[in-house]
Chain A
């Protein structure tokens, strides 16, 4: 008879589960701050109000919103009948995506 025996010598999964939760929140927060900063770089500047009011707001354990609350932000971003769109939030979001995915991958590599 031929038999193969498998023995678990080290089980990091129980500890990883807790750390995964903590560090996912950290990765998401860091990404939100980078996105906020990129959006500020991308935002058009006249008086500086639009750029200065862009902020990252925590919406949940793993959920952050980057908002541009200036009252005319939507008209700058989406355009008007007289002005083409300048979608600074979308551009910032696209630019941040690879960094977020890399950070998440690196976190998983560390934990598992």
Chain B
């Protein structure tokens, strides 16, 4: 049995980076350096960027320890550094359009459903008086790996 999390991560990354409309958003556009990152963002990259991460996952099993699928929660957010969150709304809305109700495969992984959950809007004060803005939401994903 293989883990599902790496397959779902690959699916989200492919889903977002394959969309020309999304990659054209931002200044510089997200396509410059393909600024879509799992877990954390490398230092020195330009903003805005997209940050996504696995939160939790529960296996759904049948009798006999047979895993049917995994119920997962992911967080996907647009983020930028600056005095305002300008441009994040368009990116976050495009992510919603791409992910809500989506399904697909990534290697041996099958994503059955991807459904929107709670929205998140956060502002983090950075050293030096700068601010990092985050806008996006949690996603509920049902997936399995064959």
Contact = CB atoms under 8 A, between A and B. Distances in A.
Interface of A: 74-75, 78-85, 87, 90-91, 94
Contacts of A80: 40, 124, 132, 134
Contacts of A94: 56, 58
Given A74-B122, A85-B75, A90-B73, A79 B39 contact: yes
Interface in B104-146: 120, 122, 124, 132, 134
B40 A82 contact: yes
Given A85-B55, A94-B56, A94-B58, A75 B41 contact: no
B39 A84 contact: yes
B51 interface: yes
Chain B, interface SS category: strand
A81 B51 contact: yes
Interface of B: 39-41, 49, 51, 53-56, 58, 73, 75, 79, 120, 122, 124, 132, 134
Contacts of A74: 120, 122
Nearest to A80: B124
A84 B56 contact: no
A78 B134 CA distance: 10
A79 B132 CA distance: 12
Contacts of B122: 74-75, 78
A83 B134 CA distance: 14
A81 B56 contact: no
Contacts of B73: 87, 90
Given A74-B122, A75-B122, A80-B132, A85 B53 contact: yes
A84 B55 contact: no
Contacts of B58: 94
Contacts of B134: 78, 80
B40 A83 contact: yes
Contact of B53 (A79, A82, A90): A79
B75 A84 contact: no
B132 A81 contact: yes
